[in-house]
Amino acid sequence: MQNYFDLLKIKKSFDISLDSLEASYQELVREYHPDKNMDRSSEEQAKAFQNTSLINSAYETLKSPLKRATYLLELENINPFDETDTSMNMDFLMSQIELREELDSFKSNQDELGLDNFIDKIKSLINDNVKNISVNFQKEASLDIIKNLVRELKFYIQLQSQAKTFLDELI
């Protein structure tokens, strides 16, 4: 099976041009769009539909830093979210607890401003984490290091989503 990077004509890397990704995606969608294949046989129409579905999956995976990093690890036969692998950095585990407690405090106190600042803090942690993933892929660091950074990124993204949900409930 062709990997997503090859499919979308993007260099296999964590650091990709989102503009190039978008352009390649649009080109492929136009080529395989079901409406463009209406005059073809049903077999060819089904193939075009399958291709469009694959192109959409590839695009959604590669445009997200979390999904892209996960995909790159999976290409190396590493599942960063393998439930049997519970090893994590102790400092990060402690910071997880502190961040969750901080979020719970803002929620229970209905502190809109505090929650808004908390969301900014998490956004900064996400940006720093994405930069760390990028640097580690560039220097071809241990895939275990990258795997742990991907796990951390997933945590931060989920925490940000929860915080935004709580903020929406307060407003």
Task: Indicate the domain borders of the chain.
Answer: 4-63, 90-170
Nearest-angstrom CA–CA distance, 42 and 122: 49
Each residue's pLDDT tens digit, 84-99: 887 888 999 999 999 9
Q: Indicate the fold that domain 4-63 takes in CATH.
A: Helix Hairpins (1.10.287)
Could you name the CATH architecture of 90-170?
Up-down Bundle (1.20)
Q: 149: which residues sit within 8 A by CB, 6+ positions away?
A: 69, 129, 132, 133, 136
**pLDDT single digits (tens) 37-62:** 666 777 776 776 788 889 999 999 99
Q: By the 8 A CB rule, do 162 and 115 touch?
A: no
